[in-house]
């Protein structure tokens, strides 16, 4: 039998360790075990409460200014602090493991800080995984629709207005049904929705809202396709709208591997009658370097039915073309800085140009000469400094 060399130092060290150390160790172990038990009890106690109710909030404050008064995103040559400033509170009450009630209240600077409910719904997940929700919901047309106001969860200072401003409402009253297909490394989600809404600050009612979307994600790549339709009734841009239909189509994709971010969306809106049809899209790319994420965005929007208006009798063709035709390309350079826990600071410089013979989608851009279709501004530069926080 070989003599075990490794056993020798053990024997020596055991011999050297004073008996007191073992006593210490026994006490330490006892204390540690008691601590564990206390922590387990505390955890159980707080769990029953936190599992029932969650309260969260988010806040954004923005400074926006422009080199002129074209009115891009409400910006003017004087400083604006209300356009993109907002605060939201959300309460989630878990009625059971499968049923919950969610209420999100928002106050936005652009709406004079009036309190409005963006989410107010009851949801239930059936045993087979199907989830239904009813109440006031976000209309899920865009990739960022569900968390449109939660700047902290977005890479940019604001979702590109070229795309996101083409649908003038963000929530509806109704219901949706969704199902997640779980694959080994990815999830496919199908969602169908329906309900009614109104366009805020207008005389336009939306009824028979119906739509569906499909999205797939492996948490690095995300792909999404959406269809939506609604009936419009009321008045818009001085036109009487009598039950005309609007159809929305959208495609989106994103990539985020931790350092490189890329997001792109492409959407179309087609409305019966004289109201303008739009096509729009954007691409954002960013790169994370520790707490800094510089990004660049290119976005465009254009009306696709200008001929419908130009073929009208001249007394209609001219004002409608001037008012509704739209063309714009915007280039943004920005930086997200995750300055401290739960707070991101964003800097953004957006240059919008290429308006053609339109106001560039800026209703506040005055006509200089209606016959040559000349407007006062043919470009604009917008500066934004913004903080986004969650709590």
Is 229 in contact with 209 (CB distance < 8 Å)?
yes
Among the listed residues 285, 266, 286, 268, the one whose alpha carbon sits nearest the alpha carbon of residue 277: 268
Among the listed residues 139, 125, 213, 205, the one whose alpha carbon sits nearest the alpha carbon of residue 174: 139
Spatial CB neighbours of 375, under 8 Å, sequence gap ≥ 6: 355, 358, 359, 360, 365, 366, 367, 368
Is 330 in contact with 350 (CB distance < 8 Å)?
yes
- Measure the CA–CA gap between 6 and 332, rounded to whole angstroms: 67
Q: Binding to other proteins by residue 238, rule CB under 8 A?
A: no
Here's the x/- map for other proteins, 257-276, by CB under 8 A: it reads as xx------------------
How near is the Cβ of 5 to other proteins at its closest, in Å? 9
Q: Which of 23, 26, 30, 50 binds other proteins (CB under 8 A)?
A: 50
Here's the x/- map for other proteins, 96-115, by CB under 8 A: it reads as ----x-x-x-----------
- Measure the CA–CA gap between 299 and 382, rounded to whole angstroms: 14
Q: Binding to other proteins by residue 369, rule CB under 8 A?
A: no
| Rg of the chain over all Cα atoms, to the nearest angstrom | 28
Q: Which of 72, 142, 152, 193 binds other proteins (CB under 8 A)?
A: 152
Here's the x/- map for other proteins, 16-35, by CB under 8 A: it reads as -x---x--xx--x---x--x
- Measure the CA–CA gap between 294 and 62, rounded to whole angstroms: 18
Cβ nearer to other proteins, comparing 114 with 341: 341
Is 135 in contact with 122 (CB distance < 8 Å)?
yes
How near is the Cβ of 268 to other proteins at its closest, in Å? 25
241 CA to centre of own chain: 30
How near is the Cβ of 263 to other proteins at its closest, in Å? 13
Within a 10 A sphere around the Cβ of 362, how many other Cβ atoms? 22
- Measure the CA–CA gap between 246 and 278, rounded to whole angstroms: 11
Q: Which of 23, 26, 30, 40 binds other proteins (CB under 8 A)?
A: 40
How near is the Cβ of 42 to other proteins at its closest, in Å? 8
How near is the Cβ of 173 to other proteins at its closest, in Å? 16
Token couple for 349: 């410089």
Spatial CB neighbours of 2, under 8 Å, sequence gap ≥ 6: none
Within a 10 A sphere around the Cβ of 249, how many other Cβ atoms? 17
- Measure the CA–CA gap between 61 and 35, rounded to whole angstroms: 43
Residue 266's DSSP bridge partners are 251, 281
Q: How many residues bind other proteins (CB under 8 A)?
A: 57
How near is the Cβ of 124 to other proteins at its closest, in Å? 12
Here's the x/- map for other proteins, 295-334, by CB under 8 A: it reads as ----------------------------------------
Q: Binding to other proteins by residue 191, rule CB under 8 A?
A: no
- Measure the CA–CA gap between 139 and 143, rounded to whole angstroms: 11
Q: Which of 65, 68, 82, 90 binds other proteins (CB under 8 A)?
A: 90
User: Phi then psi for 128, rounded to 5 degrees?
Assistant: -80, 0
Q: Binding to other proteins by residue 185, rule CB under 8 A?
A: yes
Cβ nearer to other proteins, comparing 9 with 238: 9
Cβ nearer to other proteins, comparing 156 with 355: 156
Cβ nearer to other proteins, comparing 338 with 378: 338
Q: What is the contact surface with other proteins in residues (CB under 8 A)? A: 6, 9-10, 12-13, 17, 21, 24-25, 28, 32, 35-37, 39-40, 43-44, 46-47, 50, 54, 56, 58, 88, 90, 92, 100, 102, 104, 119, 121, 123, 133, 138, 146-147, 150, 152-153, 180, 182, 184-185, 187, 219-220, 256-258, 288, 291, 338, 341-342, 344, 390
């Amino acid at each position: 039998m070989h003599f075990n060399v490794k056993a020798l130092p053990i024997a020596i060290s055991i011999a050297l360790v004073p008996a007191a150390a073992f006593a210490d160790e026994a006490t330490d172990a006892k204390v540690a075990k008691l601590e564990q038990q206390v922590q387990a009890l505390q955890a159980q106690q707080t769990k029953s409460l936190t599992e029932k109710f969650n309260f969260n909030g988010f806040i954004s404050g923005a400074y926006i200014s422009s080199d002129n008064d074209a009115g891009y995103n409400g910006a003017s040559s004087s400083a604006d602090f209300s356009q993109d400033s907002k605060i939201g509170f959300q309460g989630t009450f878990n009625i059971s493991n499968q049923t919950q009630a969610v209420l999100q209240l928002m106050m936005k600077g652009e709406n004079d800080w009036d309190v409005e409910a963006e989410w107010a719904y009851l949801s239930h997940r059936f045993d087979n995984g199907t989830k239904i929700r009813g109440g006031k919901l976000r209309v899920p047309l865009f990739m960022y629709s569900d968390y449109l106001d939660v700047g902290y969860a977005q890479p940019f200072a604001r979702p590109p207005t070229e795309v996101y401003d083409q649908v003038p409402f963000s929530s509806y009253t109704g219901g949706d049904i969704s199902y997640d297909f779980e694959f080994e490394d990815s999830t496919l989600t199908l969602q169908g929705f329906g309900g009614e809404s109104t366009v805020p600050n207008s005389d336009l009612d939306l009824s028979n809202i119906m739509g569906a979307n499909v999205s797939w994600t492996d948490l690095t790549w995300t792909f999404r396709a959406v269809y939506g339709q609604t009936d419009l009734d009321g008045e818009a841009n001085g036109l009487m709208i009598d039950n005309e239909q609007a159809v929305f189509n959208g495609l989106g994709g994103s990539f985020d591997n931790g350092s490189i971010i890329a997001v792109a969306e492409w959407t179309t809106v087609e409305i019966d009658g004289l109201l303008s049809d739009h096509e729009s899209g954007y691409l954002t790319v960013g790169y994370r370097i520790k707490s800094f994420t510089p990004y660049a965005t290119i976005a465009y929007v254009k009306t696709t039915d200008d001929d419908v208006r130009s073929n009208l009798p001249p007394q209609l063709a001219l004002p409608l073309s001037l008012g509704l035709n739209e063309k714009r390309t915007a280039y943004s350079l920005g930086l997200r800085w995750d300055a401290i826990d739960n707070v991101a600071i964003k800097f953004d410089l957006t240059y919008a140009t290429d308006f053609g013979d339109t106001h560039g989608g800026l209703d506040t851009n005055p006509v200089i000469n209606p016959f040559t279709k000349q407007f006062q501004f043919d470009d604009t530069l917008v500066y934004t400094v913004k903080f986004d926080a969650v709590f």
